Amino acid sequence: MSASAFAGSDLPVRADLAESQERAWQAIAAPGTWLDGQRRLAVAAEIRHAIGCAHCARIKAALSPTGVAGAHDSLGELSAAEVELIHRTVNDPGRLSEAWAQSVLAQGMSEGEYVEIVGIIAMVMMMDTCTRALGLPERQLPAAVAGAPTRYRPPGARRQAAWLPLVEPTDTVEADGPMYPSPKAGYIYRGLSSVPQSMRDYWALANCHYLPGQAIYRFDLPAMRAISRPQTEILAARVSALHQCVY
Amino acid sequence: MLRESMQSEGKQVALAGVTSGFDQGVDVAHATELLEFTEAVVLRDAPRLAAARAALLPLLGGAGLVDAAATVAAFYGFVRIADAIGIPHFTAPAGAELSGLREEVGIDSFYRMQGAAR
């Protein structure tokens, strides 16, 4: 493990990419909306641990992900619902279902906690996959920052279009803070919107790995990366297909 | 997005290759090496990934390799948000119906679509 992302790499890593990862790790270590910093880091540790879970491997290999007997190999710091959410989302995301999501919530997890944990999963997996793809070690988890979660729930959050509540662009209020770059933001952008800080943290990171949100649908712009737009999109499409992602 | 980006360069792409492989090739520079890199990352095959990286580096340069890795990594996040939150998948961001595209790409054979059909 290294003390900072990309440490010791000879590769010319974009400054904004490296900085986005450092900011993201600090955000994960800080108090969130529903989880404090220590619990958010416990989630991050469980995400990494889940990669080697034998029970997840059996689920992944089964024709159906339901009904596979056994228990996840966990670090023991989180609840059974949190472990289930983390392990299944890390290892077999393409076969999650609304019934499964409801079963996780029925174990006592709040919708806010669920969404915040999904945001951490997305961020940690993005950063760890980036460094692993480049042959670099994982960054050490940072130290937790003390403090209480804000427990802010956007008044416009409603469960309607997705399994979990979303805040539609027309339902945002000033207290939510900055939300959407455009009222036409797609559903993938709205996914974490019921926990606005998680949404902002995620997109600050994602915009530096893929493309800035305002550039995604602009194919006429000059190249923003060291690979062409078709090269970017063939990578993106293949990753999504290999995950059986239907979106 | 792949089709749009290809069309912006005056090119066509058989989208089925995204799921079934581009047997007839695809008019994207170093596509074979990029796809091998992607698959090695997703399969967590360390020796295969090291070889894929070594093959890509002279083709893309260091900055290109970093951006390839960052793009693959970004979609590890996107797919997990989409799949765990259960965002709608029957329309595109602009509201366009996607059934034809899903069939063309082969997405209709994915587990969740099979479940949706039941």
In Å, the largest CA–CA distance within chain A is 52
- Does A42 reach chain B within 8 Å, measured CB to CB? no
For residue A235, what are its two tokens? Answer: 């990578």
The beta-carbon neighbor of A227 closest among B67, B102, B111 is B67
Specify the amino acid at residue A153.
R
Cα–Cα separations (whole angstroms), residue B103 to A97, A107, B98, B100? 21, 37, 9, 5
- The secondary structure element, H or E, covering residue A157 is strand A157-158
Q: At B117, is the pLDDT very low, low, confident or very high (cuts 50, 70, 90)?
A: very low
Q: A84 pLDDT exceeds 50?
A: yes
Do residues A38 and A144 touch, judged by C-beta distance below 8 A?
yes
- Contact yes or no for A102/A83 (Cβ under 8 A): no
Is the pLDDT reported for residue A163 higher than 80? yes
Which residues, 6+ apart, have CB-to-CB distance to A41 below 8 Å?
A28, A29, A141, A142, A144
Partners of A217 on chain B (C-beta within 8 Å) are 93
In this structure, are residues A137 and A2 in contact, taking their beta carbons and an 8 Å threshold? Answer: yes
Angle at alpha carbon of residue A191, lines to A14 and B110, rounded to 5°: 95
Instruction: Tell me the C-alpha distance between A7 and A2, whole Å.
Output: 6
Paired tokens of B41: 């990352």
Interface of B with A in 35-94 (CB under 8 A): 35, 37-39, 41-42, 44, 49-50, 53, 60-89, 92-94
- Amino acid identity at A47: I
pLDDT digits (tens, 9 = 90+) for A121-151: 999 999 999 999 999 999 999 999 999 999 9
Q: pLDDT band at residue B93, thresholds of 50, 70 and 90? A: low
Task: List the end-to-end C-alpha distance of chain A, in Å, as a whole number.
Answer: 34
Q: Is the pLDDT confidence value at B2 over 80?
A: no
Per-residue pLDDT for B118 more than 50?
no
- Report CB contact under 8 Å: A121, B28: no
Say what the pLDDT of residue B101 is. 67
- Whether A55 shows a pLDDT value over 50: the answer reads yes
Q: Is the pLDDT of residue B108 over 70?
A: no
> Is residue A173 pLDDT above 90, yes or no?
yes
- Is B18–A241 a contact, with Cβ atoms under 8 angstroms apart? yes
**B86–A209 CB contact, under 8 Å:** no
CB distance A108 to A79 below 8 Å: yes
ipTM summary value: 0.95
Q: Which of B42, B67, B76 sits opposite A226 (nearest CB)?
A: B67
Q: Which two tokens stand for residue A63?
A: 């024709």
d(CA A45, CA A25): 12
Is there a contact between A45 and A77 (Cβ–Cβ < 8 Å)? yes
On whether any CB of chain B is under 8 Å from the CB of A13, the answer is yes
A60 touches chain B (CB under 8 A): no
pLDDT mean over A38-51: 98
pLDDT at A7: 85
Cβ-contact A79, A107 below 8 angstroms: yes
* Eight-class DSSP state of A167: E
CA A155 – CA A171 distance, rounded (Å): 8
Best mutation target among A227, A229, A233 (most B Cβ atoms within 10 Å) is A227
Q: Is the pLDDT confidence value at B92 over 60?
A: no
pLDDT tens digits, residue range B48-63? 999 999 999 999 999 9
Task: Check whether B100 has a pLDDT greater than 80.
Answer: no
Q: How big is chain A, counted in residues? A: 247
Q: What percent of chain A has pLDDT over 90?
A: 82
Q: Is the dihedral of CA A184, A189, A192, A197 positive or negative?
A: negative
pLDDT value of position B105:
66
Q: Is this model's pTM higher than 0.80 or not?
A: yes
- The most confident of the ranges A188-192, B12-16, B110-114 is A188-192
Q: How confident is the model at residue B90 (pLDDT cuts 50, 70, 90)?
A: low
User: Given an 8 Å threshold on Cβ–Cβ distance, is B65 in contact with A225?
Assistant: no
In chain B, residues with a C-beta closer than 8 Å to the C-beta of A43 are none
Residue A167, beta-bridge partner list: A157
* Sign of CA pseudo-dihedral B96, B99, B102, B104: negative
- How confident is residue A174, by pLDDT bands cut at 50, 70 and 90? very high
The DSSP H or E segment spanning A158 is strand A157-158
Identity of the highest mean pLDDT range in A144-158, A174-188, A226-240, B79-93? A144-158
Contact B112 A94 (CB under 8 A): yes
Any B CB within 8 A of A51 CB: yes
pLDDT of residue A3: 76
H/E stretch holding A166 reads strand A166-167
pLDDT of res. B16: 72
